[in-house]
Every structure is written in structure tokens, then in C-alpha cells.
Amino acid sequence: MKRVLILGLGNPLLGDEGIGVRVAEELKGLELPDGVVVVEGGTAGLGLIGLMEGYQRVIIVDAADMGHAPGRVVRFTPLEAQFKTAEAPLSLHQIGFGEVLALAEALEVAPAELVIIGIQPSRVERGAGLSPEVEEAIPQIIGIILDELDVG
Amino acid sequence: MKDGKINVHYVTRVEGHGNIMVDLKEGAVKKLRWEIPEAPRFFEAMVRGRSYADAPHITSRICGICSIGHTIASLQGIEAALGVQPSEQTVLLRKLILHAETVQSHTLHVFYLAAPDFLGVNSVIPLATTHKEPLLRAIRLHRLANEWSDLLGGRTTHPINMVVNGWTRLPTQDELRTLRQRLTEAIPDLEAWVKIFKTLDIPDFERETEYLALQRDDEYAFYNGAIASTDGGTTPVTQYREKIKEFVVPYSTAKHAKAARESFMVGALARFNNNYGQLSPLARWAAEEMGLKPVCYNPFMNNVAQLVETAHCLEDSVRIINELLALGIKEEDRSVDVKGGTGPSATLRTGPSATLRTGPSTALRTGVGATEVPRGTLYHEYTLDDNGTITGANFIIPTNMNHNNIEGDLKALVPTIVDKSQEEITLTLEMLVRAYDPCISCSTHLLNVEFV
């Protein structure tokens, strides 16, 4: 039985930044295969390295600035993308997922299979609640995840 | 550099915003300021009119790292005002979760924020290549502390299981046994870092000052105690306002504080200087290995003191778990008599700011809670009416108490390094600020370092 982690990242207080957490909440209401764990990773930063330990496959759900139209969903792997990371981050608050992944790889603790589902945000200012474009993308995101899990 | 200005706009690798402003003329310091531009948080006003039961949950939001400490200080202040004496089990569990926070905060600071300074890198990221094993150990220790506070508090940040007079969810005996096992297994990770720190070049700088920390007769004080000073004497926490004088400075939104001298320091080094004799064996070993001896006047050694305390908390937590298991974990009565609060630990305030009137709901009661959080002593004082509604509050956070001492240290440090380049002076001043592990506030960071 494969151990799969679905990690919803983001900050629900910053508009569309919270999409990952919202998706994790939705997934918790669904019946998922054995061995699948859903976690709201929030803004855990370096703590994510510990969270990913012990899983063969990790699916990340997060708002991502990919230069697309708001609400656009892209499923990709780290090899297919280049994260814009800070080379010498000046504070822990700057350690985003790009840095965590780079660190995990350098430490050789990155998961064997990593998939990222990025959602282009419309709005990342203070204030809870998703924009309509991102809200409308939720069924599509869930569909992609269920495909990843080979669920009907 | 002999002439010119150094202006560090937003010191990096600290929590919150602080600027260092230095004006040098012919090798002498013309002006030096440690400026805090953070906006006030208004928590003391926010809790007014709320029920006593809300205070711990609201005030835990003052900080994301020390949310456990704020919760505990708040609970103590409320319980003191209400005359509530929590049970032995409640107190032991609070001590256990407070140790989790100390380990979590100290490991984060020492390994991710301070160690890069001493290992010659800008951040923790390059250490993945140059110090892979130690970084993995650091991540492991930090993760243990997170899961430990998760287990007891109900979640990693802003605990929900602690309430006035008890816990809403108790750990099981098995959970405690598993935790005890993990704590024991973490010791080699701690020892490895002690050996690394032993080899590092800690700047040799001293400035004599007063160190304040809570103190107890029976253990190295974290949870509670009386206010002790390296200048002598102890003060009951109910009299904290007589011991600690806060005052305002025009260039900083944070208040400054003084006690017996012009400034004082709180935090790991202050606790070490006052209470070193009560450290656990592992902690005493760590201190010796790293050359930390009381009384140490070198603020850079605060990082070392934090590593010593991490050792202590790991070992002491095993002792606490043993005590809890011996007692047996039991559900307890958490009820609170809101009207009852004239017990020995509550004080009826009769100063000009309190009015004692007869009649319904108007008798005021005050209580002070004080606890050692990672960065130093934290005070929460509450005034309640006899319905248990909060009519007033006063919070003094440890970093606030350190601002004055930070400035004093910067002023004494600059003349000793004035012959170095602007870059070196700037780095050393930033390292001094970082050594205090200041938590100016939990807010998002900007990245600018400006040279004027």
C-alpha cells in the first residue's frame, strides 16, 4: 500500500493564498483510498521537511504565480518547473515551498515522487475568502487529485 | 571606518522589525539608536470587557512562537485574581508543554537564525551542503518539539487544551511514554550540536549589566517563581511594577525598561546567571563543554545559554513525565468559582486607579501571572470585576525589557570594532541583536538593508 500525502499549503487570511488549505478541507470530507493522508500544511515553512517524511508520494496543493490567468490550474513535477527562490533568504518567513524543496533535496530527504498542483491566484491581499475564479476551480483541482490517486 | 553612518534598515534573521542607526565621527560614536518601528498591538485594550475565560485564548495570539507562554502567563494571572489553585497534574502538564516551547523556540533560533552567523553563511540553506548531518539533527529536534506541543496543546501554535484550572484534553499514559522515549533518543542530536558550538568563534565582548529571571528553591525556574536579580534580592511577582520601570523613548514605538541599573537583560543568559546551580546534569555538561560559566556578561553567549537550556528541558521533561505517570493521569474537576476570588493569591487593588464600591458586580480583583518564556520573563496582570469580566490588563513582554540593554550593548560594542570595515561592523552589530533572539513582533518581513 502506497503511502501518499496530500499537503494543502497557504494562508487563508490572504485571499487566494489559502486555496491549498481550502482544498485540504474539502478532501477531508471525501472517501479516499487507504494510505492517503491529507494535511493542512498552512505556512509551516521548514517544518514541511519533517511533515513529508515517510511518504512515497507527496501531492502539494498551493497558490502559485505561474504567469497564467487567475483560476488556471497546472499539475507539474519539480523537474518541469524552475522555482524562483531566494538564494540567501534573509528571514524564516521567506522560506517558501521552493526553498523547502531545495533543502529537502540537498539533505536527500525529498519524497520519491512529488507532484505539485498550482493554482494561479487572482488576489493575495489581506482578507479571508477566495476570488470567484479560484473558487470555481476547486472541482477541477479535486478531480486532478482523484486522478492522481487512481480513484474513479 | 572612522567617519560615516551605518543604518541597518530591518535587521535580518530576527522576528519583527528593528533598525540600527549609528553615526560615527573620527572613530567615536556620535549617535546610536536601536529603533523599533512596529505598530502597537492593543491587546491590553482588546481583553477589556471580555470574560476571564477568553483571556488565555486571545493573548496566545500575541505571538506565534510563544503562544504557549502567553497562554500560561494569562492562566496564572486570571487564576491569581480568582483565587484558583490548579492541581499538581495541571501544573506538571503546563511545565511539560512549556518545556516543549522552550525547545522549539531555542532550536529554531540557535540552529536556523544564529548558527549561520558563526558558520560564515547568510542563512540556513547553504548548511544543507556544508553541514548536512547537523542540519538534519536540528530539523529532527525542532520537529520533536513541534509534535510534543501538538500532543499536549491540541495544535502546534495557539494551544487549545489549556483552560483556567485545568486541561480539556489529557494525554494518555502511552502517549507520555512514547514522548519520553523520543526525548531520550533526541539527546545525541543535542550532544552533537554542543560539540559543534564548542568549536565556534563566539565574539569576545562583555558589558556588565543586571540580569533578571524568575527563581524557585526547588528547580530551575520556568513555569513560575519570584523575581531574582544578579544584583541581589528577590521580589514577589505581585510587586513587579516596583521592580521593573517602563518608560517611553521618542524614536521607538516599543517602551524601554530599567530596574536597579540603567538597563537589564532577561532571557536564557539571565536565567543561567541567576539559577545555574539548578540545571540538570546534561545541561551542566553542555555549559562546561561550551565554556559558559556564571556570571557571564557576554550577550553573544545567550545563544550558548539557549543550547544549555535545551539540554535541560529535554532531561527535565523526562523527570516530569515520570512524575505524571506515577500520579496517574486523571480527569479532574475544572470548575471555577468566579465570585470566590479573595484567596491568598489575589490582591484587592486600592490605589487611585481602582474603585472599591459596594453593590453588585463592582468589587475589583487583580492577579499577576509571570512565566519564563524562551526570550525572558513574561508578565500578565488582570483586573476582574466580580462577574469575572476583565476591566483592565497589563502585559510586559521580555523583548521589550531587553531593548534598553540591546542599545547599551550596541553603544559599548561599536568603539571596540570601529577600526573594521563598514560590512564587518554591520555584521557584528546585527549578530549582537540576533544573540538576544528578539521577538519584536510576529509580522511579515521585508528584506532591505540600507547603507546611508
pLDDT tens-place string over residues B260-286: 999 999 999 999 999 999 999 999 999
> Which residues, 6+ apart, have CB-to-CB distance to A97 below 8 Å?
A9, A48, A60, A62, A83
Residues of B in contact with A40 (CB under 8 A): none
Region B418-442: what's the mean pLDDT?
82
Region A126-132: what's the mean pLDDT?
88
A133-143 pLDDT, tens digit per residue, is 999 999 999 99
Integer angstrom CA distances of residue B363 from B68, B304, B308, B394: 30, 48, 46, 19
Closest-CA distance of chain B to residue A152, Å = 34
**Predicted local confidence at residue B248, as pLDDT:** 80
**Predicted local confidence at residue A100, as pLDDT:** 84
- B448 in contact with chain A, both atoms CB, cutoff 8 A: no
CA B69 – CA B398 distance, rounded (Å): 11
Among B416, B112, B395, B46, which residue's Cα sits nearest to residue B255?
B395
Q: Percent of chain B scored above 90 by pLDDT?
A: 62
CA B85 – CA B72 distance, rounded (Å): 14
Whole-model pTM? Answer: 0.87
- A77 in contact with chain B, both atoms CB, cutoff 8 A: no
Inter-chain contact B125–A99, Cβ cutoff 8 Å? yes
Closest-CA distance of chain B to residue A88, Å = 6
- B132 in contact with chain A, both atoms CB, cutoff 8 A: yes
**Predicted local confidence at residue B340, as pLDDT:** 62
CA B100 – CA B176 distance, rounded (Å): 13
**Predicted confidence band of residue B300 (pLDDT cuts 50, 70, 90):** very high
**Predicted local confidence at residue B448, as pLDDT:** 26
Question: Range with the lowest mean pLDDT among B140-149, B185-194, B237-246, B254-263?
Answer: B254-263
Contact A86, A39 (CB under 8 A): no
**Predicted local confidence at residue B81, as pLDDT:** 95
Domains and CATH numbers, chain A: 4-148 (3.40.50.1450)
**pLDDT of B444 above 80:** no
- Rounded to 5 degrees, φ, ψ at B240 are -60, -30
In this structure, what C-alpha cell is assigned to residue B99? Answer: 518545556
**pLDDT of A65 above 90:** no
Question: Range with the lowest mean pLDDT among B84-88, B203-207, B218-222, B428-432?
Answer: B428-432
Residues of B in contact with A97 (CB under 8 A): none
CA A45 – CA A97 distance, rounded (Å): 7
Closest-CA distance of chain A to residue B123, Å = 6
CA B348 – CA B355 distance, rounded (Å): 10
**Predicted local confidence at residue B348, as pLDDT:** 44
Inter-chain contact B447–A88, Cβ cutoff 8 Å? no
Q: Return the half-sphere exposure (C-beta side, CA atoms, 13 A cut-off) of residue A132.
A: 0
Exposed/middle/buried for residue B123 (C-beta within 10 Å: 0-12, 13-18, 19+):
buried
**pLDDT of B169 above 70:** yes
DSSP notation for B97-152: HHHHHHHHHHHIIIIIIIHHHHTT-SSSTTHHHHSHHHHHHHHHHHHHHHHHHHHH
Closest-CA distance of chain B to residue A51, Å = 9
Contact B431, B117 (CB under 8 A): yes
Among B61, B31, B441, which residue's Cα sits nearest to residue B254?
B441
**Which of B249-258, B345-354, B422-431 has the highest mean predicted lDDT (pLDDT)?**
B422-431
Region A23-40: what's the mean pLDDT?
94
DSSP notation for A59-117: EEEEE---SS-TT-EEEE-GGG------SS-SSGGG--HHHHHHHHHHTT-S-SEEEEE
Region B85-108: what's the mean pLDDT?
96
Query: Closest residue of A to B10, CA-based?
Result: A90
**pLDDT of A95 above 70:** no
**Predicted local confidence at residue A91, as pLDDT:** 55
Higher per-residue pLDDT: A101 or B330: B330
Residues of B in contact with A88 (CB under 8 A): 122-123, 125-126
**Predicted local confidence at residue B91, as pLDDT:** 98
**Predicted local confidence at residue B446, as pLDDT:** 25
**Predicted local confidence at residue B442, as pLDDT:** 34
**Predicted local confidence at residue B362, as pLDDT:** 59
- B125 in contact with chain A, both atoms CB, cutoff 8 A: yes
Contact A42, A82 (CB under 8 A): no
Query: Is the backbone peptide bond immediately before B295 cis, with ω within 30 degrees of 0?
Result: yes
**Predicted local confidence at residue B443, as pLDDT:** 29
Question: How would CATH label the architecture of B43-333+396-435?
Answer: Orthogonal Bundle (1.10)
Inter-chain contact A92–B113, Cβ cutoff 8 Å? yes
CA B168 – CA B154 distance, rounded (Å): 10
Rg (CA), chain B: 22
> Which residues, 6+ apart, have CB-to-CB distance to A66 below 8 Å?
A72, A74, A118, A120
Identify the residue whose cell numbers are 487572482. Answer: A122
Mutant choice from B108, B113, B123 vs A, greatest count of A C-beta within 10 A: B123
| Amino acid code (one letter) for B168 | T
- Rounded to 5 degrees, φ, ψ at A133 are -60, -40
Mutant choice from B17, B111, B125, B182 vs A, greatest count of A C-beta within 10 A: B125
Contact B445, B18 (CB under 8 A): no
**pLDDT of B25 above 90:** no
Q: Closest CB to B139: pick one of A49, A88, A89.
A: A49
